[in-house]
Structure 1
Amino acid sequence: MIELTDAANKKFLDAFLAQADNQELYQRVLFSPDDTKGIEELNRRFKEFYAEARLIKYISSIIHYTSIELSLRNRKIDKACQPTDEIERLVDGLTCISNEGDREGIQEWKDALSDKRLLEAIQRLTEKEQATLTLLYLRNLKEREVARLLGVTQQAVSKVKKRALLKLRKQLEGGEMHEPVNAAIASAEQR
């Protein structure tokens, strides 16, 4: 017969006895302790119930910890991609150009953007950052192609792009505005 040693075992036994057929068998064995076949059947059912419960607990733990791991992985990915993705969508969304065929004749940001704040923010970027964004967004070139045109590596283009987009984000969110590195813009602002 099963002996209860603590509260956890009592809860486990209560779950086992919650099934009507197990309850009936338990009652039968309880009132006729000489019924060896009944005792063997009760023990067999309890062992099956216990094994199934352990399997369910194991699978539940795997699901729980896997979901935590996936959540953490997704947060890392979102955190890594989020800053540039938002600004890229903003740049794409604020352009006056509806399709890529119209984009071919556009060479300057002032012709492409409908948002004055974004245009001013782009003009505050360095010449290198402006050139990189122009090739990527106005001419719709891939980072690889921009790298070849500028004579740098694709990683350098990606780094300049990310830095420029982060600067744009900071400026558009009302963060600290950096003085333009571009001398032509600096002299135009002083006038």
Structure 2
Amino acid sequence: MKQQLVQYFQELTSQSYKLIDFLKLSSDVIPLQELLPDLSNQLASLKTSMINNYKHLNRPQYDWSEAQTEVGVGLNSIGMLSDRLSTLIIKEWCLRNKNNPNPEKANDLYQTHTMDIIHALANARPGSSSMNTKITHHKSDVTANSWEEAFYGLLSTNIVNWESQEILYVKDITTLPCEELRRYIAWFSFGNIQRNEYIQYCEELYWH
């Protein structure tokens, strides 16, 4: 079963690369007021087809109802590992395609970090670490009805989060107008709440 799951998560990773290939993320920093609607609309339009692609991977079936929540799972829960996998997928794509492509570094990332997470996913057991989120009264309107939809939502959210944070690493944010800074702060708060909810959906729906 483990080897089947390793292969499944490798195929899930490959399908996810294709999504980012289609999006063709820009190497330039795009203002948030342009980035959010454009990228969000693209991801929304691709949602149904990508979820169907994920479902066609035929995740190995197992009587997950027999899997009991275990003490000692820590951060190696499906929800938290899915979050890490989605981030590594984005990072590898950027290493291959954005400014100054570095395929050697991208290959090393996949062989060391991504494959390590894939094996951890294949060995995962139900846990509670996905509940480790900020205490807040804010809620997003995200929902998911399947594991595949939850993973797509998490990947999509992390893509938008990744792209919106580019400005923090390539520009001096102290030079930004106050109103623009407010927009970034508001989005980072909302984006992280949305991310946390998808992590929880990934954890719950994988086992049901």
What is the TM-score normalised by the length of structure 1? 0.28
Larger relative helix fraction: 1
Relative contact order: is structure 1 or structure 2 higher (C-alpha 8 Å, sep ≥ 6)?
A: 2
Larger Rg: 1
Report the TM-score when normalising by structure 2. 0.26
